[in-house]
Amino acid sequence: MDLIVARNREDLVKARRAGTVALVPTMGALHEGHMSLIRQARVRADQVVVSVFVNPLQFTPNEDFSRYPRTFDADLDACRTEGVDVVFHPAAEDMYALDRQVGISSGEMGARVEGVFRPGHFDGVLTVVLKLFNLVRPDLAVFGQKDAQQLALIRRMVTDLDLPIEILGVPTVREPDGLALSSRNRYLSEDDRRVALALSRALRTGAAQFTAATIRAAAQEVLDAAGPDLGVDYLALVDPATFTEVGDDFGGVAVLAVAARVGGTRLIDNVTLTLNPA
């Protein structure tokens, strides 16, 4: 069956067919990381829907909404290659009423870690994701673990609002040098890229340790060694369900997350690891 491009709600209703539906929400500029999500969806569902929508609500002031890469024709080619059934590509006015008043709050969890530096970001993420869930009505939705806090909040929303949707997290895809794939990587110069590799190197170095204190110290040492061209926003070792910082005596599964600016580009990365209690 040919790929269907649904540009509004009516198109989306017509495109839906019987069987299990998987949704892969994206903002476009698709790369191999997105392809891994689509492939997992393809295995699990009869119909795969990929949304391509640059969501204005999740960009905070002075962020890169206007320059965020938009490569829709290339995205369509990639979706055809992966056997996607429907691409949902609405305009902002089809997603949000001009007098919109109601949205989703990400609560205290959305104000931690990434939320400290991007206030309101996760409110915008959850609002658009819930709208996509209501419009597409998927049985399954697939997200990348690179956005670990986003994934945790979406799972929390599904639980708190009793949404009948399975959430599947897919491991981060990395380039051969270790840099986590991101649509924003295309902004990096050759020199920027060398600096940016400190993020994944810090995570690997931290993950080789076994206690919270040594993990933090080892990862921070790598970030510090990168010098002033790496503007670190945070290095956080957190509970994967709540994104609260774990104590030095913590034992169990945790997420080591980092965010930094390289040139004019902000990058995030994380790794899940198991700590020994101190």
Alpha carbons 263 and 261: distance in angstroms, whole number: 6
Q: Is 121 annotated as a binding residue?
A: no
Q: Which of 24-38, 60-74, 116-130, 135-149 has the lowest mean pLDDT?
A: 60-74
What's residue 92's pLDDT? 94
Q: 3-class DSSP state for residue 97?
A: coil
Alpha carbons 33 and 16: distance in angstroms, whole number: 25
Instruction: Work out the average pLDDT over 128-146.
Output: 98
Catalytic residue chosen out of the listed positions 15, 34, 201, 246: 34
| Tens of pLDDT, residues 200-237 | 999 999 999 999 999 999 999 999 999 999 999 999 99
Alpha-carbon Rg of the chain, whole angstroms? 19
Q: pLDDT-based confidence at 93, cuts 50/70/90?
A: very high
Bridge partner list, 230: 262
Q: Is 34 a catalytic residue?
A: yes
Instruction: Find out whether 235 and 81 touch, Cβ atoms under 8 Å.
Output: no
Instruction: Work out the average pLDDT over 57-67.
Output: 90
Which residue do the tokens 């890469």 mark?
Answer: 69
What's residue 19's pLDDT? 96
Q: Is 146 annotated as a binding residue?
A: yes
Please tell me what DSSP assigns to residue 257. Answer: E
Q: pLDDT-based confidence at 61, cuts 50/70/90?
A: confident
Q: Is 150 annotated as a binding residue?
A: yes
Strand arrangement of the beta sheet that strand 166-170 belongs to:
4-6, 86-88, 47-52, 21-26, 140-144, 166-170
Q: In the predicted model, is pLDDT for residue 184 greater than 90? A: yes
Q: Is 151 annotated as a binding residue?
A: no
What's residue 63's pLDDT? 87
Q: In the predicted model, is pLDDT for residue 1 greater than 80? A: no
Is pTM beyond 0.85? Reply is: yes
